[in-house]
Amino acid sequence: MPELLRIGVDVGGTNTDAVLLGGCTVLASHKAPTTPDVGSGIVAAIDDVLRCTATPAAAVGAVMIGTTHFTNALIEARNLCRVGVLGLGAPASLAVPPLVDWPAALRAVVHGHTAIVAGGFNYDGRPIAPLHPDEVRRAAREFAARGLEAVAVSSVFAPVNPAQEDEAARILQQELPGVDVTQSARIGRIGLIERENAAVLNAALLPMAGRVVGSFRRALANLGLRAPFFVSQNDGTLLDPDVVTRYPVLTFASGPTNSMRGAAFLSGRQDTLVMDIGGTTTDVGVLVQGFPRESSVAVNIGGVRTNFRMPDLLSIGLGGGSRVVVADGRVRVGPDSVGFRITEEALVFGGRTLTATDIAVAAGQAEIGDRGRVAGLDRRLVAAALDEIHRLAEEAVDRMKTSATAVPLVLVGGGSVLIGRELTGVSAVTVPAHAGVANAIGAAIAQVSGAVDRVYSYEALGRDAALARAREEALSRAVAAGASAGSVEITEVEELPLQYLPGQAVRIRVKAVGDLALERAA
Amino acid sequence: MSMRIGLEHVEDLARGAAILGTGGGGDPYLGGLMLRQALQDGRTVELIDVEALAVDDFVVPFAMMGAPTVLLEKIPSGAEMLAALRTTERFAGRPVRALLCAEIGGVNALLPLVLGARCGLPVVDGDGMGRAFPQLQMTTYHICGVPAGPMVMADEHASTVLIDTREAAELERLARNMVVAMGGSSSVCLYAMDGGAAQRSLVRGTISLALGLGRVVREARRGSSDPFAALLAYLRGTEYYQHCRILFAGKVADLLRETAGGWAQGRVVVEGLGSWAGRSVTVQFQNEHLVAREGERVLAIVPDLIALLDSATAEPITTDGLKYGQRITMLGISAAPIMRTPAALAVFGPAAFGLADPFTPLEQLG
């Protein structure tokens, strides 16, 4: 039986990378510029890895795509739609209206209208107030009058009881045919503000999500790839593309997670710092036993607080496309970047903008583009810019390190050529083979997960039964998401007792992860 | 001496209150949002010195009672706060002149200001705990003889319940049951007193203290200087909190939580990093941090404050937010003298939490 072939793709803001993996071996990789239509960049990258290995499209078992498209849309506040927000919880929850803590500019783009109606639940599942369908219909008319394309619904304690969100969504869909509805309980955990924020962000991305997933599908169809395809989510595991069209927000942290998982795979190191230098930014994170260390604080995305579990990352504005300028006698590198236009704008590609990549080429650290075009650069400028690049990298390492002792560092990403010498505070720099496409490799090796986050009563159920129920649900969610039943394992169990309450109310979080079911992919 | 609290103070106050929460008291982020909402459109609330009260002014502490996790979901309506205040006034037969803070540690630091902004009453600079504590008799108000009852509790429907007893433990028992009936969190007014009693029983200046702690951390971060040095320097300039030091720094190596009697109990083991490498410190908690020990040796013990802060940012970490692998720095701070008297220690000293160790002031340890 031939070995299962997988293709991993990373669609970044600058480059689209593809890798072809046979089992645990990287057979080919290719880096192509990200195209404005997304799809043709994917076609170009995948086509290259198939052609150079003479692999027929039919031999590919699965395609995994990781993308920062949705994150970038949010950060740049573009391609977002205006959202109606329906809160179920009055009279509770009125003291803090939705979106109150958002950056004003993003709120202005996204916020269509807010209606808070009677509803919501207590921690034990008792309703705060019953839902009145007439109030939901009235809100729907207000959303319709403003021509809103999407609605986010969030109910108090929806993770304990999603019934009112379900009911409100049903009514909204009747009243507003063609309008997308996001229910908070489907994407977020306990914590009303953060879950509501995630639901609103998700709703704002829905029209774009349909277009992006559609362009993925067309790209694969154009290549004659009939294999199932998946999209990476925040924790590095896989989503069905249909799920992405409904829950694009679940892809937010996939870029850095994939890059760090890919770095672990390529370097064989399980505990190390990882520095991923892309076209625009450099992310520094920490691998602990092969997985990214997670951030302990609420994660802000584009200035919006969410409770997604994200890798603990430091991002700085240094990348291959960073502009290099001299101002007041000092050389500055970044934070602004030419991004995906690097192949037109960088000097080595015949452009007129001095970029960090030009500096690396001029210093002899990299063979990219036409070296002759940077031969005439002032050597002192090149040396000063190199110093600045390394100073920025060293500072980032120092901020992520938690002890004074030197630590190992795995360097990945297309911009890894910027680093050409030892870094202070680092014991050894490893640049693994295929370091430029670690993201795509992280996507290709991804597993499938299922998670539960809910409040249980230990008094009513008993601890063992409650934990067993949560584990069972996480396992079945992982299998439903495409994991092979035999491979699924519980990877995280967390119990958080709700203080001051009798009845032993305990919030349980469980995550199960397994390998992608091959029979589905074959 | 008085000042106006406006939108520009909210972030500092919330962070300072979290530091003083010593792991408990609830995440003040939400209280910060409520306060920001209440201070929209240029509204402010007046913070006054306790000496500005007349001895017969009627003043009352306002707080929320219940499970912090519930508050993260069931955000208040605002109406319950006013309902608790108005019912207190109706039962007492006289108007409230100023609000007091019951607990400076955590979310309750901000809530009297939310209510003050909404109803136009000033808030007195100080509180009844000097930190966070899990039970409502654990206050300097109680220690100084102010009866906790009658106590008014209100839910999001603005339904109120009045418990009229002068016995603090009985009040605690009845109120706990009522909190559950109200869905896990309630707005409460208790320890209503006159200005003279407030002057005798208040832990003074703690709202200013929280503002200052939050401010120096923010300024240190902006100036890329050491936030821990800034915190220590600030505390040493205060009257009550000048005994303070870094107890330990390292990473979370083990974390044990259990639920017993509705409390989040447990302990966290921190392995030393940097100059602390090779050593290990255990912090025992019951909602709040109670004692930090290296082996048998006590480094700091309740009611002195033990704050766990993120080693990189000095952001305070609650017991709920502890995670394996976190890098944390332990800050020990002396409690105010009013909280270290024999009468105070009988109520919230080590024995009140089932600890066998005697209370030893921070400055005599280490």
pLDDT, averaged per 10 consecutive residues of chain B (366 residues), comes to 91 96 88 94 94 98 90 94 98 98 96 96 98 93 95 97 89 92 95 98 97 96 88 94 94 79 81 90 95 96 97 88 82 96 96 96 91
* Cross-chain CB nearest to A122 (options B77, B183, B323): B183
Chain B interface mutation, best of A96, A101, A398, highest count of B Cβ atoms under 10 Å:
A96
Under DSSP, the state recorded for A347 is G
Question: Which residues does chain B have within 8 Å of residue A502's beta carbon, measured at their own beta carbons?
Answer: 176, 180, 262
In angstroms, the CA B122 to CA B124 distance is 7
Distance from CA of A103 to the nearest CA of B (A): 14
Partners of A512 in the beta sheet? A450, A490
A338: in domain: no
Spatial neighbors of A377 by CB under 8 A, at least 6 apart, are: A354, A358, A359, A362
Query: Between chains, do B69 and A507 touch, taking CB under 8 Å as contact?
Result: yes
Residue A189 lies in a domain: yes
Task: For residues B308 and B269, give the distance between their C-alpha atoms in angstroms, rounded to a whole number.
Answer: 12
Q: B325: how many CB neighbours lie within 10 A of its CB?
A: 16
pLDDT of residue A396: 84
For residue A164, what is the domain's CATH number? 3.40.50
Question: How close is the nearest chain B Cα to the Cα of A60, in Å?
Answer: 39
Q: Which amino acid is at A517?
A: A
Distance (Å) from the alpha carbon of A3 to chain B's nearest alpha carbon = 38
Q: What SS3 class is residue B150?
A: coil
Structure tokens at A51: 């052609």
Partner-chain contact B78 A94, CB within 8 Å: yes
Residues 6+ apart with CB under 8 A from B270: B248, B250, B251, B252, B253, B280, B281, B282, B283, B328, B330
| pLDDT by residue, tens only, chain A of 522 residues | 346 799 999 998 778 999 999 888 899 999 888 888 888 899 999 999 999 999 999 999 999 999 988 888 887 888 899 999 999 999 999 999 999 899 999 999 999 999 999 999 998 888 999 999 999 999 999 999 999 999 999 999 998 888 999 999 999 999 999 999 999 988 878 899 999 999 999 999 999 999 999 999 999 999 999 988 999 988 778 888 998 999 999 888 788 888 888 998 999 888 899 999 988 889 999 987 777 877 756 677 878 998 777 788 888 889 999 999 998 888 999 888 888 788 899 999 999 999 999 999 999 999 999 999 999 999 999 999 999 999 999 988 877 776 557 889 999 988 889 999 989 889 999 999 888 888 899 999 888 888 887 778 888 888 889 999 999 999 998 998 888 888 888 877 877 766 555 667 787 888 888 888 764 433
Q: Which 3 state secondary structure label does DSSP give B251?
A: strand
* Cβ pair B183:A123 closer than 8 A: yes
CA distance A293 to A13: 24
Q: Which of A195, A257, A206, A268 is nearest to A232 (CA)?
A: A257
Residues 6+ apart with CB under 8 A from B208: B47, B125
Which one of A206, A236, A252 terminates a domain? A206
CB contact under 8 A, B258 and A90: no
Structure tokens at A455: 């409040």
Is residue B307 a contact partner of residue B299, using CB atoms and an 8 Å limit?
no
In this complex, which of A89, A120, A499 lies closest to B67 when CB atoms are compared?
Answer: A499
Which of B67, B277, B315 has its CB closest to that of A501?
Answer: B67
Give how far A96 is from chain B: nearest CA, Å. 6
* CB–CB contact A402 B72 (8 Å): no
Residue of chain B whose Cα is closest to the Cα of A93:
B75
Q: Could you tell me if A193 and A306 are in contact, meaning their C-beta atoms sit under 8 angstroms apart?
A: no
**CA distances (Å), origin A251, targets A107, A230, A274, A276, A436:** 21, 11, 21, 18, 21
Q: Rg of the Cα trace of chain B?
A: 19
- What DSSP string describes A20-78? EEETTEEEEEEEEEPPTTSHHHHHHHHHHHHHHTT--GGGEEEEEEEE-HHHHHHHTT-
Which residues from A are below 8 Å from B262, CB to CB? 497, 499-502
The Cα–Cα gap between B19 and B27 comes to 10
Query: Which of B217, B263, B362, B237 is closest to B304 using CA atoms?
Result: B362
Q: What is the DSSP letter of A95?
A: T
- Which residues on chain A are in Cβ contact (under 8 Å) with B311? 402
Report whether A222 contacts A43 (CB < 8 A).
yes
Shortest distance, CA A122 to any CA of chain B (angstroms): 6
C-alpha to C-alpha distances, A352 to A335, A338, A367, A376, B116, nearest whole angstrom: 18, 11, 19, 14, 60
- Cβ distance of B317 and A296 shorter than 8 Å: yes
Q: Do B74 and A293 touch (CB under 8 A)?
A: no
| CB-CB under 8 Å, A91 with B79 | yes
Q: Do B69 and A403 touch (CB under 8 A)?
A: no
Burial code of A200-214, b = ≥16 C-beta within 10 A, e = fewer?
A: bbbbbbbbbbeebbe
Q: Tell me, yes or no, whether A467 lies in a domain.
A: yes
Sign of torsion, CA B106 B108 B111 B116? negative
Q: What is the DSSP string of A416-474?
A: GGG--S--TTEEEEE--TTGGGHHHHHHHT--EEEEEEEEEEHHHH-HHHHHHHHHHHH
Q: Is the ipTM of this complex over 0.85?
A: yes
Total domains present in chain A: 2
Which residues on chain A are in Cβ contact (under 8 Å) with B29? 298
Q: Which residues of A are less than 8 Å from B263 in CB distance? A: 497, 499-500
Residues forming beta bridges with residue B280, ordered by sequence position: B271
Rg of chain A over all Cα atoms, to the nearest angstrom: 24
Domain presence at residue A121: yes
Distance CA A389, CA A368 (A): 18
How many Å separate Cα A162 from the centre of its chain?
26
Separation CA A239–CA A251 (nearest Å): 9
What lies within 8 Å, CB to CB, of A369 at 6+ separation is: A346, A347, A348, A349, A350, A357, A361
Output the average pLDDT for chain B: 93
- Please give the model's pTM, rounded to 2 decimal places: 0.83
Nearest to A92 among B74, B258, B326 (CB): B74
Residue A184 domain-assigned (yes or no): yes
Q: Look up the domain containing A82 and give its range.
A: 78-206
Indicate yes or no: CB of B77 within 8 angstroms of CB of A90.
yes
Mutation site for B-interface testing, chosen from A395, A493, A501 by largest number of B Cβ within 10 Å: A501
Residue found by looking up tokens 């200013």 in the block: B208
Size of interface A-B (CB pairs under 8 A): 145
Q: Which residue has the tokens 């418990």?
A: B163
Tens-digit pLDDT profile for residues B117-152:
999 999 999 999 999 998 889 999 999 999 999 999
Phi, psi torsion values for A2, nearest 5 degrees: -70, 150
For residue A156, list chain B residues with Cβ-Cβ distance below 8 A: 73-75
Q: Do A192 and B72 touch (CB under 8 A)?
A: yes
Cα Dmax for chain A = 77
Check B74 against A89: CB less than 8 A apart: yes
Over residues A278-288, the pLDDT tens digits come to 888 899 999 87
Residue of B nearest to A126 (CA): B183
**How far apart (Å, rounded) are the C-alpha atoms in residues A237 and A260?**
13
Cβ contact (<8 Å) for A296 and B36? no
Shortest CA distance from B312: residue in chain A: A399
Q: What residue spans of A310-355 are helical by DSSP H?
A: 342-345
Q: Looking at the partner chain, which of B37, B76, B277 has a beta carbon nearest the beta carbon of A92? A: B76
- How far off is chain B from A513, nearest CA to CA, in Å? 20
B10, B75, B268, best to mutate vs chain A, most A CBs in 10 Å: B75
Q: Which helix (H) or strand (E) holds A206?
A: helix A192-222
Q: Which residue of A has its CA nearest to B224?
A: A399
* Domain contains A106: yes
Q: Please give the Cα distance from B121 to B143 (Å, whole number).
A: 26
Write down all domains in chain B, each with its CATH number in brackets. Answer: 2-204 (3.40.1610.10)
Of residues A288, A458, A496, nearest to B320 (C-beta): A496
- When CB atoms are compared, the residue of A94, A128, A403 closest to B274 is A403
Choose the final residue of a domain: A206, A221, A253. Answer: A206
Cross-strand bridge partners of residue A84 = A113, A151
Alpha-carbon distance of A487 to B71, in angstroms, equals: 39
> Helices then strands (H, E): number in chain B?
11, 18
To the nearest whole Å, the CA of A271 is away from the closest chain B CA by 12
What single-letter amino acid sits at A39? G
Domain boundary among A176, A206, A236: A206
Q: Which residue of B has its CA nearest to A195?
A: B73
Token pair in block for residue A109: 């783009």
User: If you measure CA to CA, which chain B residue comes closest to A122?
Assistant: B183
Of all residues in chain A, the one with the smallest CA distance to B187 is A92
Return the pLDDT at A521.
Answer: 39
Residue among A100, A124, A498 minimizing CB distance to B69: A498
Q: How far apart are CA B341 and CA B231, in angstroms?
A: 26
Q: Tokens standing for B170? A: 């009985």
Residue A327 DSSP class? E
Q: CB-side exposure of B187: number of CA atoms within 13 Å?
A: 32
Q: What does the pLDDT look like over B230-278, one tens digit per residue?
A: 999 999 999 889 899 999 999 888 888 876 666 678 999 998 988 998 9
Cα separation of the two ends of chain B: 37
Alpha-carbon distance of B168 to B166, in angstroms, equals 6
A157: closest CA among B175, B185, B257?
Answer: B185
Q: How many CA atoms does the CB half-sphere of A295 hold within 13 Å?
A: 24
A470: left (phi over 0), alpha (psi -120 to 50) or beta: alpha
List the single residue in A100, A156, A501 with the smallest CB-CB distance to B36: A100
